[in-house]
Amino acid sequence: MDPRRIFEGTVCALRTGCQWKELPKVQFGSASAIHKYFLAWKQAGVFVRLWRQGLAEYDDLEGIAWAWQSVDTALGKAPWPTRPSAPTRRTGGKRGTKRSLLVDAHGIPLSILVSGANRHDARLLTPTLDRLVVARPAGRHTLVCG
């Protein structure tokens, strides 16, 4: 298969949230083959390298705004909700995922962490900051919470 068509099919599935088998075969080809390549590329770190290269190019052209960053979280629904969980001390009854995202002053994503929905936002802060895909310039380690 053409790597460009595989990549386009992968982006389509990820952007729309459709199931792999719902990808238009006429446009992208075999959905199972695209998914197989996606898993292999993910394992090989292809997407993180693309992100890192994109950020490096953006930094050269515009400059990452290191003077100010923001971290926020968002909840995602459980993929196949059946019935609500009974709230417990451990889970709080939350199903699904929570995404913690670090962006610069222009909204450019610098780090992302995906966790279970039952994790408190405060517990995601340090791991999110530690997952920068590009190196923070020396002397830019000040953290101000407000």
In a domain, 51, yes or no: no
The range of the structural domain enclosing residue 110 comes to 66-130
Model confidence pLDDT, tens digit, residues 43-98: 999 999 999 999 999 999 999 999 899 999 998 876 655 555 555 555 555 678 89
User: pLDDT tens-digit profile of 30-52?
Assistant: 999 999 999 999 999 999 999 99
In a domain, residue 53? The reply is: no
Indicate the pTM of the whole model: 0.74
pLDDT at site 84: 52
* 70 and 32, same domain (yes or no): no
Q: What is the average pLDDT across 113-122?
A: 88
Q: Within this chain, do residues 117 and 76 fall inside the same structural domain, yes or no?
A: yes
- Asked if 104 and 111 count as a contact pair (C-beta separation under 8 A), the reply is no
Q: What angle do CA 111, 113, 118 make, to 5 degrees?
A: 150
